[in-house]
Structure 1
């Protein structure tokens, strides 16, 4: 079973994090919620607290097959500031492993130079942080191993795109129908 690590930092966007975790688990994918804060309880941008499964330092990244970053502020900036996470992102990208980020979080990839000449999308106003990217403004965009999403309103579509990449378009479409969501 694929193991996807969804990373939480203080100030994460709750709708994005919970929607992604929920949709991936509905698709019978293994999701590990990872706190980069040093505490299992992480507070979102709207003061909702979520308990992570593991602390960053306790994760064996050799067992993780995809990294996902929910957005929100200051959550995205806090993810960007975490040197260990940046190192893992670079390692995953170097090995062609899938990466996903939504809302403001694609700035983490942009600041690492991973979006050069690649189509990407983000929350309006963060385009300048996606260094070298071809900004599309689409709800969800995929360029090679990197999936980006625009914001909270498309979190389910973003998660279904991840499901599509792992389990195929048919599985993503069926799950979307069960959830009464139009899949791209």
Structure 2
């Protein structure tokens, strides 16, 4: 059986709980998760000063092949102040659009759905995001903690990171694996 793989984009100021909680849960589920820095520096400082060593830089990863296909099964976009860098950089929106077109899961939390907006993926879709970006988004945000619409998964913010991570596990591996991982972390 093929090991499922996730590409997680990191930029300076990423919200640590929104990146690391889903990454932890996905790795517990035995998914390969590649942490990719959008800068050329492998060390990426989060919003709260936690420095994470990325596995590689986005420019060094074969994130998208010339034929529009990818080796990854999911793109993960954490939120926080880093989202403004992701949006300025443009590669995150390009990847999100290409991955969504290829039928690959695209997941974003907090302000991350604004990258999906830039990619043209939110029109006519159900989604949620952090209230701080409500004015930028085309429709009224729902109150759900996590929304799955087709191959898009969105979530509200730091307080929903655990639910978001478990939803990612379920999307890739099914409800039984989600329950297994949830049970393994509950005391």
TM-score class, shorter = over 0.9
The aligned residue for residue 67 of structure 2 is none
Residues 59-86 of structure 1 deviation map (CA, whole Å, 9 limit, x = unaligned) = 112322211001011x111111222222
Shift of 1:48: 1.2
Q: Which residue of 2 aligns with 1:149?
A: 155
Q: 1:119, 1:134 within 8 Å by CA — same for their partners in 2?
A: no
* 8 Å Cα contact 1:118/1:134 also seen in 2: no
- Distance in 2 separating the partners of 1:135 and 1:144: 17
1:124 aligns with 2:124: no
My pick for the range that moved more, 143-152 or 76-85, is 76-85
Structure 1 unaligned blocks of 5 or more: none
| Matched residue count | 179
Structure 2 SS opposite 1:120? coil
1:123 & 1:47 partners in 2: Cα distance? 21
Provide the TM-score with structure 2 as the length reference.
0.91
- Equivalent-residue separation in structure 2 for 1:130 and 1:144 (angstroms): 19
> What SS does structure 2 have at the residue aligned with 1:7?
strand
- In the alignment, the residues of structure 2 paired with residue 65 and residue 179 of structure 1 have an alpha-carbon distance, to the nearest angstrom, of 24
Provide the residue aligned with 1:81 in structure 2.
Answer: 88
Residue deviations 1:30-62 (CA, integer Å, cap 9, x gap): 100010011100011111111000100111123
The alpha-carbon deviation at position 180 of structure 1 amounts to 1.3
SS in 2 for 1:101: strand
1:170 shift after superposition: 1.0
Whether the 8 Å CA contact 2:97–2:120 is kept in 1: the answer is no
1:26-45 alignment, distance < 5 Å: 26-45=28-47
**Residue 178 of structure 1: how far off its partner (Å):** 1.3
Deviation beyond 6 Å, 4+ runs, structure 1? none
Cα deviation, residue 112, structure 1: 2.3
Q: CA RMSD in A?
A: 1.3
- SS of the aligned residue for 2:26 comes to helix
Report the secondary structure of 1:34's partner residue: strand
Aligned to 2:146, which of 121, 140, 143? 140
Shift of residue 176 of structure 1? Answer: 0.6
Match of 2:4 in 1: 2
Kept after mapping to 2: 8 A contact 1:10/1:44 = yes
CA distance in 2, matches of 1:134, 1:66: 26
85-94 or 46-55, which deviates more: 85-94
Q: Which runs of 5 or more residues in structure 2 are unaligned?
A: 64-69
Report the TM-score when normalising by structure 1: 0.92
Residues in 2 aligned to 1:130 and 1:65: alpha-carbon distance in whole angstroms: 26
